[in-house]
Structures are given as C-alpha cells and as structure tokens.
Amino acid sequence: MNNNLIINDKKNQDLFFICTYGCQMNEEDSEKLSGMLKRIGYERTDVKEDASIIIFNTCCVRENAENKVFGNLGQLKALKEKNPNLVIAVCGCMMQQKGMADKILKTFPYVDIIFGTHNSYKFPEYLNRVKQEGVQVKEIVDKESKIVEGIPIDRKSDLKAFVTIMYGCNNFCTYCIVPYVRGRERSRKPEDIIKEIEELVSEGYKEITLLGQNVNSYGKGLEEEINFASLLRRINEIEGLERVRFMTSHPKDLTKDVILAIRDCDKLCEQVHLPVQSGSSKILKDMNRHYTREQYLELVKMIKEEIPNVGFTTDIIVGFPGETEEDFKETLSLVKEVEYDSAFTFIYSRRKYTPADEMENQIDDAVKHERFNRLVDTINEIVARKNKEFEGKVVEVLVEGTSKNDESRLTGRTRSGKLVNFTGDFNNIGKLVNVKITKAQSFSLTGEEV
C-alpha cells in the first residue's frame, strides 16, 4: 500500500465524513479507512456538509440497512451539485452483492468510488485516481485476498479497542449473506494479533474486544497449530492489559477448552455472546445452524457451571420461513430458561441469493411483528428482574467517561457487560473502580463509587 499518494496542504486541510452501517467488523473497517485518510493528511468531521470526502460503509445483512443507504445517497445529489469536487465513496458488504455496484452507479451516477470488503486497503489509491485523473472508480474483488497487516487505525475510543483475529465465515446459515460478501475464514497470525494488542496497551488501552464472524474457528489455515483457547491464554499474559472480551461465538464450535480459558484467565471478562437464533430444533435445522435446542441448552448449562457469574447475551431471529406459533413458543421458553442479560432481536429479512429467500411458507409481516413484540417484552422483563439483583452489590467498573444522559455522572461497564452510570471521581476515567449499585434501571444500573 502506497501511503504517499496524496500530500495535503496543512493550511487548507480537507475533511472527511464516514457513515457506518452494520456490525463491529464494519466499525473496525471504518476505523481503518479513517486511519488511512488521517495518515495522508485529512481530518474527520461529523458534519457531512463540511466534508470534501463522504464515505458510506454499508451493510447488507438486513434490507432496512440497504434502504437507508439508498436514501442517504439520494440526499447527496444537492451537495455534489453545490461542490463538484466532493468525492463520494460507497464500500462494504452491500457492494459485494451481485449487480449492486452497477445499480448504485446507474441510480446515483455522481458516486465517485465503489469498492468491496476485500480491497478496502487500496482506498488511498482509488482516491488518488479520482482526484488526479478525474475518473470514476469501481473495483469489486470477488475472492477474498490475503490478510493485509499494518493498516493504520483511527480508533473511536482511547480506552477500548476492537482487534480482528479472523475474517470471513464458512457456516452458510440459510438466512445469512455474510459468507458471500466476507469470504471464507482466514485467521491472522497470532504474533500479529499479540503485537497489535501490545501496541494498544502501550498507548493506554485497557480493554480489547476480539472480533471474528466465528472466533471459535480461529487457527484454521495457519501453519502454526493453534486454536482459539490457546490464543486467549496467550493474550491473557500481556502485561498491562486489563480486560478481554470476544464476539461472536457459534454454538456448534464453542468448546470446553474455551469455557475453561474464560474461567481460568483473570483478564477474560465473564461474558459470553452466544447467538441462538431460534429455540426450535426444527427451525434451527432449516437455518443450517448445526445444533439442536437441547445441545444449546447443554452448552449454556456447562458455561454457567464453570463461570457462575457469567453474563449471557444472544441474537434471535423472529419469523423465519415456516416458523409456527409452536416454534415461536419454544423460543420464548428457551429465553426464559437461559435468562439472558440482553439480546439482539431481529425480524427475519429476506436476502437475495440465500436459500431462505427461496423457501416456501414465508411469514406474514403482521405475524412477525406481533411475535417480535412478545419476544422483546419477555426479554425486557427478564433483564429488569436480573438487574434488580445487583442492587446493594459492589461491582468492578471500567470508567469510560461521562454519562450521555447526565454529564455529572460517570459511566462504564461491569465485567459481565452491564452498563453502570454512577457518581464518582472524574480523575478515575480510564481506571477500574468499585461501584456500589444503588438502583436498577430497565437497561442499566445506577450507583456510587466506593
């Protein structure tokens, strides 16, 4: 990668604006785009009208995200007419879909750059071509490329950071488009991961979240024989690092050695994100998830036995094709049995080129929404009750800054992932402190530093 392609006049420094859709992987991709732009002299702005470069980093997991991209691109036409030198770029998962890039260019001909998930590291080169040659650039790489190390990252936080340990997915759940847009599983070398984390710690970072579409598959394809549990134990030995989290785990691949690593390693937080998607074995089979309801519950039981204070979170899809009322009730009963601390809940969204899109027995939207509301009500009731159990307890919190809703209070999270807003010493921002919980809210805890 040539980072000397563009040299900006510092007296007239250009600004860029990035809008990110989707998951934590997309967030980290945007941090890298920001890092590359800052390295060549640009600065970030939160006001797109002030920007000379506007980037939409897209998601295609759900139709709603795509519709937002189309709507926001339409609004840029006036900005482009007002400032012909404005560079508009669209990238990310949505661009990897068949025919999508051409559709974007046809509908929004004022877009200057389109690229996909596998070649984002080349963005400075594309920008240079647009600015120097006045051309329109469209470059979508269909096959995943080798992992490119050393890309600069402009991280949102100076306390917590995402570190990707692997890319892609091999699971092909019938509802999911990720394997088609992110490619097959590729693991980063452990020494590169360790080096990145050590550098972050030297810069003052306290908490790392390891990312991968399926972190439990880590190690496949590497020359060195290493698995995810071994990597976790190595990371736990890094001096100065306070906390480690990870996501996402696929239930079919979460092994006991990973559970024991969480139990044994003092820096690994007692939090497990374990997407279930459905509580019905029949629906799970149709989803191609490779586990049953019973196997999932047995795994949960094992985790709770080894890690008593674990915080459980999950993903659940409502209204998958063929889901009956009885199937949905099985999801509700599983939620009540596991007692999640929070859950990401989704109404099934049809995605072209996925097997589920071709399935018969698509569920009526009204039925989907009614079931979704019942599920959310059930989860919220459980979360509120579990939060109530924290009242009077003292918990460890990493102080992240001031509360968004009340600047006189501090905010942070417990090891199990609970959000805590509390009164305390502002000099402790960036430190681990003990907080006594005085009141439980529906989605957070309130307390005072002790």
Instruction: Please list the pLDDT of the chain residue by residue as tens digits (450 residues).
Output: 444 444 444 433 589 999 998 888 888 899 999 999 999 999 999 999 999 999 999 887 777 778 888 888 998 999 999 999 999 999 988 888 888 899 999 999 999 999 988 888 999 999 999 998 989 999 988 777 678 888 889 988 899 999 999 988 888 999 988 887 777 888 999 999 999 999 999 999 999 999 998 999 999 879 899 999 999 999 999 999 999 999 989 999 999 999 999 999 999 999 999 999 999 999 999 999 999 999 999 999 999 999 989 999 999 999 999 999 999 999 999 999 999 999 999 999 888 889 999 999 999 999 999 999 999 999 999 999 999 999 999 999 999 999 988 889 999 999 999 999 999 999 999 999 999 999 999 889 999 999
- Domain at 160-389, CATH homologous superfamily: tm_1862 like domain (3.80.30.20)
The pTM (predicted TM-score) of the whole model is: 0.84
Establish whether 60 is an annotated binding residue.
no
Distance CA 329, CA 332 (A): 5
Q: Count CA atoms closer than 13 A to 344's CA, side-chain side.
A: 12
Range 15-139 classified under CATH 3.40.50.12160: yes
Residue 209 and residue 31 in contact, taking contact as beta carbons nearer than 8 Å: no
Closest CA to 443 of 360, 399, 366, 381: 381
Establish whether 59 is an annotated binding residue.
yes
Would you identify the CATH topology of the domain 393-449? OB fold (Dihydrolipoamide Acetyltransferase, E2P) (2.40.50)
Closest CA to 89 of 68, 117, 110: 110
Closest CA to 241 of 191, 209, 188, 197: 197
Backbone angles phi, psi at 248, to 5 degrees: -120, 150
